[in-house]
Amino acid sequence: MNARATPAAVAPEAAGTGPPATLIAALARNARDHGGTTAIRERELGLWRERSWHDLHGEVLALAAGLEELGVGPDTAVTIIGDNRASLYAAMLAANVLRAFSAPVFADVPPAELELYTRHGEPAVAFAEDQEQVDKLLDLRSSIGRPRHIVYDDPRGLAQSTAAGLVPYAKLIEQGRARLAAVPGLAADLEGRSRPDDIAILMHSSGTTGTPKGIAIRQRNAVAAAWSGGCAGAFATGEDTFAYLPIAWVGDYLLSIAAALVMRFTINIPERQETAMLDLRAVAPTLYLAAPRAWDAMLTRVQVGIADSTPLKRALFNFFMPRAIAMERRRLAGEAPSARDELVRRVGEAVIFAPLKDYLGLSRARHAFTGGEALGEDTFLFFRALGIKLTQLYGQTETCAMTAIQFADDVRLDTVGRPLPGVEIKLGDDGEILVRSQSTVDGYFNDPAATAKAFTGDGWLRTGDAGAIEPDGQLVVYGRVSEVVHTAAGDRYIPNYLENRIKFSPYIRNLAVLGAGKPWLAAIVCIDREAVGHWAEQRGLAYSSFAELSQLPQVCELVRNSLDDINRQLSAPLRIRRFVNLHKDFDADDGEITRTRKLRRTVVEERYAPLIAALYAGAEHADVEITITYENGTTGAFARRLALADVADAAFEDRAIPVRLGNGAQRQAMEGR
C-alpha cells in the first residue's frame, strides 16, 4: 500500500513566488527584502544580542572571504563543534558560500571519538566554540595531522596559546572584511557561487550498530524539506524558534538553518545549555521541537511544581486538568465538546492552563512537535489538554527530518501522521517503510556499498523501520526491522517497540528489553532520577546517590507496578517477566547509547552479560563491577549488588495488540511464527 504525497494547499510565500534555489540565495533574499528584521537573537552575559538579516548576511560573506584564504573551497569539509552559537551557524553558511560543506560534531563527543566524525571530507579548517573544543581538535591534529586551522569563538583561556593555526573568530571576520573591501565585486561573486547540487552539510547516522555513516544533505534537499514543511503548515513565515538542540542533529539543522532561511525565522539562542529552560521562558517561541524525553521532563516539572505549590493551586489543577484531558481524549476520538466542556476549558485556561504555559515558556507556541521515538499517551494528552497543539513528526536524517507529520486537527494517538507535501511512502514486502522525496539524500558519503543497501534503483529510501499504512493514509511506525527477534519459543517481537511503550511510565527513563533466544522477556531498567527522586522524597525515603535510590525496595516495587501496568496491555509472549534496576543511566560516554540517545543494544548485552545471565537463572541478586574514570585519567573500580525481581504474573486476560504487517493482514503484535 502506498501513501501518496499530501498536496500543497498553501504556499509558504506570497503567490507567484517559489522556493529559493539554495540556502545562500535565501540568505541574500532575506538581507535584500527584510534586512532590518531580526535573524538571530543570542543571549550573552544575561543580555540579548540581535543580528539582523543584513548583519548576518555581511558576517557570512566576510567569513567566506576569510575562509577562502585558508584554503576552503568546493567539496571541502569544515568541522563545526560546540553548543548552539550564532558564530557556528554563520560558519556553516560561510562554508556553503564557497560550495564547501559543514560537518557538525556533537559538543560532548570525547577526543577518542572525534576522529570518527571527521574522517569524512578530511577537513582542513574547524570552528570551535571554546577552549574545551579547541583542546579536542588539537589532540586530533596531533594524531592525524588535521585540521590545520582552528577558528575559535570564545577566547577565554586561549589568549596565551602558542599552538599553530589558531585563529580568533573576530580576526577571521576582520580579515574577510578587509578582503571584501580590497577586491571589487568579490561580495557579488561569493553570493552567486552556491548551487542546488552542492553538499550543504554532512551529518552522520546514529551508529547504533557500528561506525556512523556520512549523510550528505544537498542544498536542494534542505530547501525542499523547509518548503515542504511550510506548504504543510508545520510552520509559517516569521516564526520565533529556540535553538537549543545539538547542532549535529538534523532536527536543529532543519529549524535553525534550512527553515530559518527559507521561511525567515528568528532564531533565539540560549546563553548555555544549563540556562536553556530559563531562556526558553524569556523567548516564548512560536515554534518548538523537543524529543519525547524533554516533553516527559516538562511534565515531571509541572507535577513536582504542583505537588510543592499551595493547596489552592493543587485544588485548581486537580479539578481542571483531568477534565481537560478527558475532553481532549474525546475530541481525538471524534466527539465534539459540549457547551459545558467549552466553559470549563475557558475557565481552566484563565486560572491554571495559561500560567502553566507561561511557566514552561510555551505561552506563544503555535506549533509544537515531538519526534525521534514514541511519546507516552499520558504526556501527549497532557500537553494537548493544556492547549499546546503538540503533534508527532516522523523523519530520518536521510530525509532532512521531514517524512510525515500529524496535522494539528487530524491527530491519532497510534500514528505519526501523513506524508508531507512532495513525500511518497510505501511498504516493502516485509513491512519496511520506504520513502521517496526531493528532501531525501542521494546516498551515503563515499560509501557506495551502504548506498546500494539503503536505496532502491528508482530512488526509494529503505528507512529500516517496520510500519503500516492505515486506509486513511496515516502512517504507523512499530520499530526497527533489523530488531525483529525471536524468543526460544519462536515468538517474534521488536524490542524497541516494547521499550517505547514501557518508557511511557514517568519513572522509567531508559531500558533494554531482553529475550532473543530466551524463554521469556526480561528488562534492564534505568529509573528517571527526577521523577523517582521526588516520589521517594514525598514518602520520606532516604538515599545518598542515584545507585542507592535505584535499589530501594520501595523503588523496585514502583518499577514492578509500572511494568505490570504495561504487561496488562500486552499479549502473553510480550510481557516482561523479570527486571533489574540498573545503578546508573545508560551513558553515551560508556558507549551504551548514541549521542542522540539511541540504545546500542549489542554493547549493553555484552557489558551486562553476567547480569542478564543472573536474571534468567532466577537469582535474587547480582554483583556488578563498576569502573569510574576520573578527570585526571585514573580509574577506580568497586562492586555493587543489584536486586533482581519478578514482575507480578497475574492471570490477567491475554489480550493481543493487532498489528498490520507488510501485506496488510492483521496479526498478533510481533508474534508471527
How far is it, in rounded angstroms, from Cα 239 to Cα 263? 8
Residue whose C-alpha cell reads 577565554 in the numeric block: 156
pTM: 0.84
Amino acid in position 150: I
SS (H, E, C) 284-353: CCCEEEECHHHHHHHHHHHHHHHHCCCHHHHHHHHHHHHHHHHHHHHHHCCCCCCHHHHHHHHHHHHHHH
Say if residue 137 is in the same domain as residue 220. yes
Is 402 within the bounds of a domain? Answer: no
pLDDT in tens, 549-558: 999 999 999 9
The answer to whether residue 666 scores a pLDDT higher than 60 is: no
Of 280, 315, 333, the position where a domain reaches its end is: 280
Q: Number of C-alpha atoms within 13 angstroms, CB side, residue 226? A: 32
Say if residue 8 is in the same domain as residue 58. yes
Q: Please choose, from the candidates 347, 345, 393, the residue with its C-alpha nearest in 3D space to the C-alpha of residue 368.
A: 393
Cβ atoms within 10 Å, residue 261: 27
Of 374, 392, 410, the position where a domain reaches its end is: 392
Tell me the CATH number at 516: 3.30.300.30
Q: Please choose, from the candidates 322, 111, 334, 75, the residue with its C-alpha nearest in 3D space to the C-alpha of residue 202.
A: 75
Q: Is there a contact between 622 and 641 (Cβ–Cβ < 8 Å)?
A: yes
pLDDT at 296: 87
Say if residue 172 is in the same domain as residue 255. yes
| Residue 181 DSSP class | H
Cα angle, residue 237 at apex, residues 232 and 242 outer, rounded to 5°: 95
Is 240 within the bounds of a domain? Answer: yes
Q: What percent of the chain has pLDDT over 90?
A: 69
Of 344, 367, 392, the position where a domain reaches its end is: 392
Question: Which three-class secondary structure state does DSSP give residue 496?
Answer: helix
Query: Which residues is 468 bridged to in the sheet?
Result: 476
Is 670 within the bounds of a domain? Answer: no
Q: Number of C-alpha atoms within 13 angstroms, CB side, residue 393? A: 30
How far is it, in rounded angstroms, from Cα 240 to Cα 283? 8
Is 467 within the bounds of a domain? Answer: no
* 191-200, 596-605, 635-644: range with lowest mean pLDDT: 635-644
Query: Which residues is 166 bridged to in the sheet?
Result: 150
Q: Average of pLDDT values for 522-528?
A: 96
Say if residue 267 is in the same domain as residue 207. yes
DSSP string, 104-153: EE-TT--HHHHHHHHSSS--SEEEESSHHHHHHHHHHHHHH---SEEEES
Cβ atoms within 10 Å, residue 246: 19
Say if residue 503 is in the same domain as residue 587. yes
Tell me the CATH number at 170: 3.40.50.12780
The answer to whether residue 673 scores a pLDDT higher than 50 is: no
* Strands across the sheet containing 214-218: 166-168, 149-152, 125-128, 77-81, 101-105, 199-204, 214-218
Cell digits for 202? Answer: 554532512
Cell digits for 460? Answer: 526509494
Q: Please choose, from the candidates 410, 379, 350, the residue with its C-alpha nearest in 3D space to the C-alpha of residue 531.
A: 379
Say if residue 358 is in the same domain as residue 232. no
Q: Number of C-alpha atoms within 13 angstroms, CB side, residue 315? A: 3
What are the helix and strand counts (H, E) for the chain? Answer: 23, 30
Is 461 within the bounds of a domain? Answer: no
Is 258 within the bounds of a domain? Answer: yes
Domain count, the chain: 3
Cα angle, residue 109 at apex, residues 604 and 628 outer, rounded to 5°: 55
Q: Is there a contact between 642 and 624 (Cβ–Cβ < 8 Å)?
A: yes
- Residue 642 sits at φ, ψ, to 5 deg, of -110, 140
Q: Average of pLDDT values for 544-570?
A: 94
How far is it, in rounded angstroms, from Cα 319 to Cα 330? 18
* 24-33, 219-228, 531-540, 650-659: range with lowest mean pLDDT: 650-659
Say if residue 270 is in the same domain as residue 334. no
How far is it, in rounded angstroms, from Cα 592 to Cα 614? 20
Query: Which residues is 433 bridged to in the sheet?
Result: 427
pLDDT at 570: 86
pLDDT at 576: 96
- pLDDT band for position 86 (50/70/90)? very high
Q: Please choose, from the candidates 150, 154, 174, the residue with its C-alpha nearest in 3D space to the C-alpha of residue 164.
A: 150
Q: Spell out where 371-419 has E strands.
A: 390-394, 404-405, 418-419
Cell digits for 354? Answer: 495559561
Residue whose C-alpha cell reads 569563538 in the numeric block: 153
Distance from the Cα of residue 480 to its chain's centroid: 17
Is 451 within the bounds of a domain? Answer: no
Q: Number of C-alpha atoms within 13 angstroms, CB side, residue 352? A: 24
Say if residue 244 is in the same domain as residue 362. no
pLDDT at 212: 80
Say if residue 344 is in the same domain as residue 241. no
Say if residue 101 is in the same domain as residue 197. yes
Say if residue 615 is in the same domain as residue 529. yes
Q: Average of pLDDT values for 95-120?
A: 89
**Whole-number CA gyration radius for the chain:** 26
Say if residue 9 is in the same domain as residue 119. yes
Helices (H), 370-491: 377-386, 448-454
pLDDT in tens, 327-372: 999 998 888 889 999 999 999 999 999 999 999 999 999 999 998 7
Question: Which residue range is the domain that position 74 belongs to?
Answer: 2-280
Question: Which three-class secondary structure state does DSSP give residue 546?
Answer: helix
The answer to whether residue 14 scores a pLDDT higher than 50 is: no
Is 419 within the bounds of a domain? Answer: no
